[in-house]
Structure 1
Amino acid sequence: MPITVTLTEGVIPREKEGKVVKEITNAFLEHHGLGGNKVMTPNATAQLHIQPKRETFSGGDPVSGAWVEIKVPGFGLASREVQKGFFAEATEIIHRHSDGKLPRKNIWTNALHTVDGTWNMDGVAMTNEELGVEIAKG
């Protein structure tokens, strides 16, 4: 499940940036009951993007902020409880690692659901049903 974390440069101390990604990844897995799952854990991937302030905006104006976007198959982030829990925790992780300096209102999140049958694991495009079979092995 690719997670993209984008931060305005300086909102998180450099030495904590990797911790943010790790904790958000773990939170995603835990909220889906997949913590420690041997199939899903290595497939919960992430990219960290650090942007200069001149390249991050809110309402068209420069802003210091954080963005979390995650791409999931149809069954990921499907329940309202999981959505609210995961995104609240991701927000708190970023806020905490900013030493409380980045306001929660400057932390934005969203999710994209992929088309069934397009999720690739181990070089094979899988349907949600096929993914479920693989996940159950872990």
Structure 2
Amino acid sequence: MPLTLTITEGVFPSEKVKEAVVQITNSFLKNHGLTGNAVMTPNITANVHIVPKGFSFSGGEEFVGAWAEWKVPSFALADQAVIKQHFAEVTEIIYKLSGGRQPKDNIYVNVVHAVDGGWNLDGKAMNNEALGAAISKG
């Protein structure tokens, strides 16, 4: 389940990128009750995009921002309590790693859900039922 973390250059030092990914991943797993799950843990992937200053915009004006976007099956990040808790934790992670300099109102977290059957694990397309069965073995 890929995480795309996009930050404007300078939100936090590049040496903090791995720490951000680890903490956000751990928050996702914890909030879904999957900490230590041998199937899910290696299937949480991430890529990080660092946008040069001057190439991030809000309302058409340059600004400094941070975005965390998940692409997940429709059953993940589907419960409002889980969403609220995880999104709050992600915001706090980015805020703290920025040394408190990145305004929380310029930290964005969202989720994109795949249609049922539009996901794969171990190179095989799976629907939600098959994914759930695979994850429950972990």
In the aligned structure 2, how far is the partner of 1:67 from the partner of 1:60? 17
* SS of residue paired to 2:22: helix
Give the TM-score normalised by structure 2: 0.98
Give 3-state SS (helix, strand or coil) of 1:38's partner.
Answer: coil
| Paired amino acid for 2:19 | K
RMSD over aligned CA atoms reads: 0.6
Give the partner amino acid of 1:78.
A
CA distance in structure 1 between the partners assigned to 2:53 and 2:61 by the alignment = 10
CA deviation digits over 1:2-59, x for unaligned, max 9?
1000000011012111100110011001100011100000001001000012111111
Q: Is residue 2:102 matched to residue 1:97?
A: no
User: Paired residue for 1:2?
Assistant: 2
Q: Does 1:69 align with 2:31?
A: no
Report the counterpart of residue 25 of structure 1 in structure 2. 25
Alignment of 1:28-107 (within 5 A): 28-107=28-107
Residue in structure 1 matched with residue 128 of structure 2 by the alignment: 128
Shift of 1:125: 0.4
**What is the match of residue 113 of structure 2?**
113
C-alpha separation between the residues in 2 aligned to 1:20 and 1:130?
A: 30
Query: What is the CA–CA distance in structure 2 between the aligned matches of 1:114 and 1:43, rounded to whole Å?
Result: 15
Gap regions ≥5 residues in structure 1: none
Match of 1:95, SS state, is helix
Q: Across the two proteins, how many residue pairs are aligned to each other?
A: 138
The SS at the match of 1:88 is helix
Q: 2:8, 2:75 → 1: CA distance?
A: 31
Taking the aligned partners of 1:61 and 1:76, their CA distance within structure 2 comes to 34
CA distance in 2, matches of 1:18, 1:62: 26
2-side partners of 1:48 and 1:35: how far apart?
A: 22
Structure 1 residue ranges, 4+ long, deviating more than 2 angstroms after superposition: none
Question: Structure 1-normalised TM-score?
Answer: 0.98
